Copies of this chain bind each other. A is one copy, B any other.
Amino acid sequence: MRGRTVSKKAAARHNRVRKQHSDELAEDYVEAIGALLGERGQARVTDLQGVFGVSHVSVIRALKRIEERGLVERTEAGGYELTRTGKAIAEASAERHDLVVRFLLALGVSSGQAEADAEGMEHHLSEESLRAMKAFLESQ
């Protein structure tokens, strides 16, 4: 298969990808909550249900886990807000997302597709690759 080898390092890489997947949902949630707070001033179960297109039950349980991780907190009003840690992750996540989208656009990818692909890719890029993309954008 064109020189690809099945090395021992493959195992480590696969473990890395599995680890990334378990963090994806949390990042997507804090990112969405940050956006909702900015746009609507509140982030409730129903709002998130709309964003992700899943049942409210799935949202509630995801939020429970994310709350346990210390990323979000309930407000008295019944909504959710970001903790300091959550805010930092949301910021970083949104920044990374923007960078990836702008990079894909610079490559010539259409706007809608760039959005869609960024959604999937953004959790799998190392700092090194992100820096390379940033450098590419600046060198244009």
Complex: A91 Cα to B126 Cα, angstroms: 26
Does chain B have a CB within 8 A of A132?
yes
**In the complex, which residue of chain B has the Cβ closest to the Cβ of A49?**
B11
Using Cβ atoms and an 8 Å threshold, which residues of chain B touch A120? 16-17, 20, 121, 123-125
- Chain B nearest CB: distance from A113 CB in Å? 5
Q: How big is the A interface, by class? A: 35 or more
Does chain B have a CB within 8 A of A88?
no
Q: Are B129 and A113 in contact (CB under 8 A)?
A: yes
A77-123 contacts to B (CB < 8 Å) = 90-91, 94-95, 97-98, 104, 107-110, 112-117, 119-121, 123
Using Cβ atoms and an 8 Å threshold, which residues of chain B touch A2? 94-95, 98
Complex: A62 Cα to B36 Cα, angstroms: 38
Using Cβ atoms and an 8 Å threshold, which residues of chain B touch A132? 104, 107-109
Complex: A135 Cα to B108 Cα, angstroms: 9
Q: Among the interface residues A1, A50, A113, A116, which one has the most CB atoms of the partner chain B within 10 A?
A: A1
